[in-house]
Amino acid sequence: MSRISLLVAAVAAALALPAHAAGDPVAGKQKNFQCMGCHGIPGWKTAFPEVYHVPKLGGQHAAYIVAALKQYKKGERDHPTMRSIAAELSEKDMEDLAAYYAQAAGGTTVAGK
């Protein structure tokens, strides 16, 4: 298969993906208890493993959240807390959480809603 054919196939596959996660935002709201401890506090900074601003999840693209959680689970992203949380999540859990956070407009935190 030529490079152009591979590129066309990759673009076609990407276009076939849904714009949102297949998850259930209502179920995601019930599963976000581990997320809201850090991501649910506006302006929160964590001190482990280093001091940094915790990113907001509300308004993120669902596909991005799912991909990030999968990377943490596989150890492709390096954050001990996120890796241990993601390790316990099923793909359905990830999709539900992503759907919940993606529905929030303007990038606000939605953990308390």
49 upstream amide cis, omega within 30 of 0: yes
Query: What are the tens digits of pLDDT across the range 12-35?
Result: 444 444 544 489 999 999 999 999
Angle 62-74/80-87 helices, nearest 10 degrees?
100
Q: Is the dihedral of CA 61, 65, 35, 43 positive or negative?
A: negative
- Tell me the domains of the chain and their CATH numbers: 19-107 (1.10.760.10)
88: tokens are 């316990």
Q: Identify whether the C-beta of residue 25 lies closer than 8 Å to the C-beta of residue 99.
A: yes
Written as tens digits, the pLDDT of the chain (113 aa) is 555 654 445 444 444 445 444 899 999 999 999 999 889 888 888 887 788 888 989 999 999 999 999 999 999 998 899 999 999 999 999 999 999 999 976 444 444 43
> Cα–Cα distance between 22 and 24 in angstroms, integer?
7
Q: Identify whether the C-beta of residue 99 lies closer than 8 Å to the C-beta of residue 21.
A: yes
Reduced 3-state DSSP string for 9-70 = HHHHHHHHCCCCCCCCHHHHHHHCCCCHHHHCCCCCEECCCCCEECCCCCCCCHHHHHHHHH
